[in-house]
Every structure is written in C-alpha cells, then in structure tokens.
Structure 1
Amino acid sequence: MGNQPDIAAGRLTDSDYAENFSDVHPPLDRKAALIEASRCYFCYDAPCIEACPTGIDIPSFIRKISTDNVRGAAQDILDENVMGGACARVCPTEVLCQEACVRNTQEHKPVQIGLLQRYATDAVMDDAAHPFQRAEPTGKRVAVVGAGPAGLSCAHRLAMHGHDVVVFEAKAKAGGLNEYGIAAYKVPEDFAHREVDFILEIGGIEIRNGQALGRDIALADLRRDYDAVFLGMGLGGVRALGLEGEDLGGVYNAVDFIADLRQSDNLASLPVGRKVVVIGGGNTAIDIAVQTKRLGAEDVTLVYRRGPEAMSATGHEQEFAQVNGVKIKHWAQPRQIRGAHDHVTDVVFEYTQLDDNGRLGGTGDAFSVPADMVFKAIGQEMLPLPQANGGSELLEMDGACIAVNDERQTSLPDVWAGGDCVAVSEDLTVAAVQDGKLAAESINRFLRS
C-alpha cells in the first residue's frame, strides 16, 4: 500500500478539454425545432403539463414554435418558470414532462420538450426587448436570503408586482447550484451568469454578495427592517461518511470540487487522480464521476449501496455516466478508507443485501478499490439555523428542514421559505423555482392586504 498517489493536472490537450466540457446537448436549429414541434399532438388534457412542477402550458408553447412565434413560446414558458432556460438544460425531463408525453404510448419516443424549451428561451435571452414589465413601485421591501433558483424566482416575481427586493447571497456570485453545483457540460458558456443578468433586467432587485444568514445577517433584523422575508439558502452542509480514513489527503466533498471546477478559468490547471472512486448515487455523484473522467482520470468507479432503481440519479443519468466510461458498482457500502503517508490508497467496501424485512445490511464479504482520489457524494444537509429574536422565537422545523405550508409560508407570519431548505423540496431546480414563485404570490397577497 506504499504506492505514491498519481494525481496530476493537464492530463489532456487543450482541444480535449474544450470538447469534453462543451455543450452536452447541442441546441436545435430552426428546421429541427419545427420538425420536432410538428410531432406534438397538442393534447387537450395534456399529461405533460401535469408532470411539469411549474405548470408550463407545454402544448401552447410548442404550437407557437410550430408557427414560428418563438417569442410567444418563450413568454408561455417564462411566465411560469423564469429560469426556463436553465431548466431546459438541467432538469430530468426524461422523468417529468417527456415521460408523460402521449407519444411514448405509440412509438416510445417522446417529443423533445426540453430541447424545444431551450430553443424558445435562448432566442428571448439574446433579444434586446425584455419580456417582463415591472408594476408600479409599491414601496414595500422584501428580503430574500439566497440567490439560487428559489431566491431568484421569488425575487423576480416580487419585482414584477412592484416590490423592492434585496437578495442576500453568501457566495461571491449569484445563481446557486446553477452557478456552482451542476456539471459544466450542462451549462457551458457562462450560461448561469447570463441567466441571472436576464432575471435582474426587470429592475427593483439588489443582490448583496458575501452575506450569510447567521454570520452577516440575522433573521430577527431582516424581519424588523423588511416587510417580508423569503429564505432560500439551500443546504449548506455536506454529509460525512463517518469512516476511518475520511480525513486523509485525496478525500474530497464532491460539491466543493464541482464548485472549483465551475469557477476555473483553466481546466488544465485542475489536478485529477488516475484512479477515482465516487461514493453515492445521486446527480452529484454522476456529475463528479463524469467530470473527473472528462478531466483525464483513467479509472472512475461509482459505488452505491443499493440497486440502480434506488439511485436518485435517473436512469438516463446512469446510462450517460456509463457511456462516458464510468463503472457503476451497486450493492456495496464503504467500510474504511485506507491510506499511506497521509494520503488515500484504496477504499474497502462491504457487499450489501436486503433482509426479509427489506432492510439493508452488510453480507460480511468485502473488496477494495484502489484510489488516488475519493469523492463523497452522499448528499447535503441543512446547517443548523440561527435562532430568531434572541432565541425566544424559532422557526418550526420538519426534521432538519424548515416546515412550510402549501404557500411556502413558515411558522412565522412574515417569513416564507423554499428550495432545498424546506421539507417539501424535491431536490430539483424546477421545483425550487416553483417554490419561489408560490412564495412570491403569497407574499404579494400578504403585502397588499
């Protein structure tokens, strides 16, 4: 076990990096969009609308594309989902709107709704004429914590209604997971930043970066200084494995590495191991596995404790990883991270199985996988919320997350919340956007009453 770790930067040529991190789904041109739009049945009770968390009228926008009314199509999309451009790129449409498409019942090939949505929204984002008008200023001020999809969606809808919004964001850039946490090949060419600029064009929204709840701002102060508050700060913590060797060199949190990759101006400067092990079964695990492979890793093994159907990453994402050379090993859980000279050398896994009651357990049989780098991707968790009002008044929690009602209102009458920090979250960009929209409409009613 005395082998030196093989971690190096610049494993590939510049052209390899450019190709590996270019747009994974090239956009449709006009001809392809018209052909794809013609496949839609324009169903009266369209199941695709029901399957869309933001309720976009999908047949309507596709019909407009088919008549070359691309701007009208984009308006249909953006009225319900102001981040329709990002969602067209990153949402698992294959298990949402496209899975519900009636075309599946006849030819097992749904209308490519995601690509059509991107075709429409991209055209408007590049258009000088902004599709939204702000209402007359109301004089009301709302504080939004977190400039991710939930916070930006809420801020935009509130600004539309004429309220002034100040967004407090802990990081140096707005955008949340779209900026820091999603694979670079899904949102290339600085798309996340361009979408934030597009959202802010409506006016009435100020973003203050480097402002974290509990460190720089307090909920009690926001409630005092603003007419309403929306909490959309996501999940700030990363779950630990709780294993021996977890603190060895070469063991990383996947979300931190992805953030570094997304903010890098030179991918050739990012060191990557020759042998990489990823522990987890969600989208972050898939994203880090594929990206390390595309950075030049030779062997990338993703290990998950249950079967493929239990992975939170979709079947499409799992297949994408395997097509990209990632080995996925199911039914195994990590038991020990071993190392030499304070650096990881391999990970010991135990085979797992379900008992007669459906509970997961180890079999006692073990194997090891050599590793220069290990990435933990077993999920994020909510950081403990700072107490409000000196501790005499607390937000009601549901487990580790904030409890909210159907309008995303918390137990405090002037505080709403949405996105990954609430108990009803679906861990999807599109669901976070919907949370922000629902909360903004509820806040608007509250402010006008």
Structure 2
Amino acid sequence: MSISPRKDGIAAGRLAADQLAQNFTDLHPPLEPHEAHVAADRCYFCHDAPCMEACPTSIDIPLFIRQIATDTPEAAAKTIFEQNILGGMCARVCPTETLCEEVCVREVAEGKPVEIGRLQRYATDRMMAKDVHPFDRAAPTGKRVAVVGAGPAGLACAHRLAMKGHDVVIHDARAKPGGLNEYGIASYKSTDSFAQAEVDWLMRIGGITMKTGSVLGRDVTLEDLSAGYDAVFLGMGLAGVNALGLDGDGREGVADAVDFIAELRQAEDLAALPIGRDVVVIGGGMTAVDAAVQSRLLGAQSVTIAYRRGQDRMAASVYEQELATAKGVRILTNVQPKALHGNGRLEAVEFEYTEDRDGKLTGTGETVVIAADQCFRAIGQTLSGAPEGLEIAGGKIAVTGAGRTSVQGVWAGGDCASGGDDLTVTAVAEGRDAAEDIHATLTGTAG
C-alpha cells in the first residue's frame, strides 16, 4: 500500500483511485459453480445438524447445501429465504465463523468447516440474478401494520406480514432504506450497492409502502401509528452513540465510528474522503474493526485499535481480529482512554493500562501516549428517541415472547429491543418472529 509522505493530518486522496478500487473490492468473491459443487460435497448432511441449531434464523442448512450439490441452487435459495428473507446480505456479513461454521462437524474434526456462508451467497445470488421473487402474496386481509425502521428487523417483519396479505407502511428516518445493511457495514463486505438491490428485490412481494425521511417523534408519533394501524412494529435500531466522557471529546479529529462508516458507504468518490495519517479506534467490536480496516484501506499510515480488556474479551470475532492485523492494524489491549491531547485539533490519545482484579477492571496508573490526528469512538450505541410509555430494560425496549412490548398492539425487535445479539441475522429472526405473532393476533389464531 503506497501512502504519500507529504499529507499530514486528515487529508483526502492519500491513495490513487485505482488503488482505492482494488482495496475495496469484494472481501469474499462469489463461488463459481464448480467451486460451489466442491464445497457442497464436503457436507455430511447431518440429520441433527449442529449448524442449523447455531443459526439464529434456523435455516435448514443441510437441505440447501444438498440442493446445491444436486444442481438446484434456486431451490436452495428458497429454502434459505423461507427462514431469512435477507439471506443474501447475511451470507456476506454474518459472522458464520462463530455461528454455523464454528459447530460444523468438519470444523470439529478437521479444523476446516464447510463454507456455509459462501454457499448461501452462491444460492441466493443465483436466484436474485434471475430477477424473480420466490413468494406470492396471500389474499388481502384488510389489516394495516406500521413498521418503524427499514433495517434488517423492520424489512424482515414487513416482508413476512405482506406475504400473509397485510398492508404494511415502513417509516424510516434515513434517506435510503436498509438500516445497518446500507449505512453500517464495511464497504468491502457489501459491494455494488447490494443493500439497495436487496431492498428492491424484497419489495417485489407487494403490499409494502416505504416512507423514508420519516422520523418517529418528529414526523409521526407512536400514538398516531397505534390509532391509525392495526399493529405497530418498532425496529429503529440504536441511533445514539456512547461518548468517551473526556475533555476534548468534541475536538477536531474525534468522531463516531458509525458516522465514519456511513459516510464512507455513501461516498461516490473514495479519493475525496479525508482520512488521518495516524488513526486510533477505541473499542473492541465489529464496528471498531470495520472502521480500523477501512482507515487502512483509505491510506492511513498507522491504525491502532485500543480496547480496555484482554483480546479474548473483544466482541469482534477472532476472524475479524485476524483480518484487521492482516491489513496492518495494530490491536492494543488492556488500555482505557485517559486524555485527548491537542491544541485545537487532535494530536494524540493517552491511555492507561488496565488489569482485571477480582473480576473488576482497574487502571494500573501506567500510561501510554499514541500519536493520532484522528480518533474514532466505537464503544457502543444507545437507544435514542424511544416513545414514552414503553418499558425500558437494560437501555433497550423491553419485550417478551416474539417481541411484544409493554404497550398493547406494539411489537419491537432488532437492536432497539432487549434480547438477542446485535447481529443482522438475529434482527432478521426477531422481525420475522414478531410478524408471525402479529399475524396470529390480527387473525385471531394466537395461542
């Protein structure tokens, strides 16, 4: 990676356009048909498949892989989409290495799992490329459901409800639908505007109206939605970002990692996107890794991920950590931010070393200063703008069962709701299951 030695501070155009294009190509190129058949032949098609148990959406993995092996990838795609309508994106971004592939019998026995994620992408891409939708909409029920948030949870909920004959209106605060898939995923994981192509494909079920730029609490209220619709699903994600709580948190050069990733995702010209020469990312999750890796790919000379606990405690998977180090990112653990230094703009970040004492994180008093002209916060997101009247638990909307909130007729799922992991695939499962419960309630078939 060639980096200009002349551009100090935060600057655009650190790399040539052709180098940037190469850096942001597809991280995992799609399988060719022959490769897919070879990969599928490695599957034992287990009867009590541990991979299926580990999948949050419970896709019948042995079945869809067998369908690929018998050269019926469209049938495989339908098997996937029956459980996960966003199976195409999940095949690209789902941490399969810690879910289905981690428990694969081949992984346990040989240390090399069946490439479930890439096989899922092979099948779903084949069907989507044929420009067909695998499901038909049921007869109209006359019921109307409002969905807040066009992210994975909201989209999955809306599709399942529309498929069952209900009319759905999605309200989303952003200019484009897709939520995390559009604004929060590293560009090298989802190329060629796939997020929008997937939304367009999903909307072909019919019965769904998309209203972008519609903000809950500003343009519409929960009270309005409850009065005007037969049910409401909240899937607006987490809009707030935790602050460092240090003096200078608003200094030039200090920003939220999610904002950086969103800006990069929407950039038409990567060469025009400014990046620091020395970048520090504070945090230990997937967002931290995505921000750090993309900083390197944009041309930052040195990038450090700083995490307050040990590396084994990082939320980012081992695979993601190894990806970061392979791209030249340094991972510094057991350090917590202590001060942001600089006169007007950021010049360095000071950290204090930490250790676990009796299960409690404690500073040692020893510090280290890292030169930085740019620092990204990736220390977690928070619920913002939750409607009054909803019970909150652990900083999220409290839900029971398949997403039922404390307010009758209102369901919630995805990152904004209490419960599962903050993963795309988990959000899809929660949106889907809430839709099933909403349908049963509206049709009087709930148990």
Letter in 1 for 2:367: A
C-alpha distance in 2 between matches for 1:405 and 1:354:
34
Secondary structure at the counterpart of residue 7 of structure 1 = coil
Letter in 2 for 1:164: D
* CA deviation after TM superposition for structure 1 residue 385, in Å: 1.5
User: What aligned pairs does 1:350-429 form with structure 2 within 5 A after superposition?
Assistant: 350-355=352-357, 357-387=358-388, 394-429=389-424
Q: 2:217, 2:385 within 8 Å by CA — same for their partners in 1?
A: no
Secondary structure at the counterpart of residue 205 of structure 2 = coil
Task: Tell me which moved more, 100-109 or 367-376.
Answer: 100-109
Total equivalences in the alignment: 438
Q: 2:283, 2:377 within 8 Å by CA — same for their partners in 1?
A: yes
* CA deviation after TM superposition for structure 1 residue 14, in Å: 1.2
Query: For residues 356-413 of structure 1, what are the alpha-carbon distances to aligned partners after superposition, in whole Å with 9 as ceiling and x for unaligned?
Result: x1100100001100001010110101114232xxxxxx11111211111121111112
C-alpha distance in 2 between matches for 1:200 and 1:143:
15
Matched, 1:133 2:136: yes
- 4+ runs deviating over 2 angstroms: none
Secondary structure at the counterpart of residue 262 of structure 1 = helix
TM-score (norm 2): 0.97
- Structure 2 unaligned segments of length 5 or more: list them: 1-6
Secondary structure at the counterpart of residue 42 of structure 1 = coil
- Structure 1 unaligned segments of length 5 or more: list them: 388-393
State the identity as a percent.
57
C-alpha distance in 2 between matches for 1:128 and 1:271:
37
Matched, 1:320 2:315: no
C-alpha distance in 1 between matches for 2:401 and 2:143:
23
C-alpha distance in 2 between matches for 1:277 and 1:409:
40
User: What aligned pairs does 1:230-379 form with structure 2 within 5 A after superposition?
Assistant: 230-340=233-343, 342-355=344-357, 357-379=358-380
Secondary structure at the counterpart of residue 346 of structure 2 = strand
Matched, 1:187 2:190: yes
C-alpha distance in 2 between matches for 1:425 and 1:304:
23
Matched, 1:431 2:426: yes
Letter in 2 for 1:255: V
User: What aligned pairs does 1:211-230 form with structure 2 within 5 A after superposition?
Assistant: 211-230=214-233
The residue number in structure 2 matching 1:440 is 435
Letter in 2 for 1:423: S
C-alpha distance in 1 between matches for 2:433 and 2:110:
36
* CA deviation after TM superposition for structure 1 residue 5, in Å: 5.4
* CA deviation after TM superposition for structure 1 residue 105, in Å: 2.4
* CA deviation after TM superposition for structure 1 residue 425, in Å: 3.0
Q: 2:278, 2:373 within 8 Å by CA — same for their partners in 1?
A: yes
Secondary structure at the counterpart of residue 45 of structure 1 = coil
2:157 to 148, 154, 158: 154
Query: For residues 145-176 of structure 1, what are the alpha-carbon distances to aligned partners after superposition, in whole Å with 9 as ceiling and x for unaligned?
Result: 00000000000000000000000000000000
CA distance 1:312–1:349, change in 2 (3 Å)? same
Name the Cα RMSD after superposition.
Answer: 0.9
C-alpha distance in 2 between matches for 1:271 and 1:399:
36
Q: 1:88, 1:114 within 8 Å by CA — same for their partners in 2?
A: yes
* CA deviation after TM superposition for structure 1 residue 103, in Å: 0.6
Secondary structure at the counterpart of residue 343 of structure 1 = coil
Letter in 2 for 1:433: V
TM-score (norm 1): 0.97
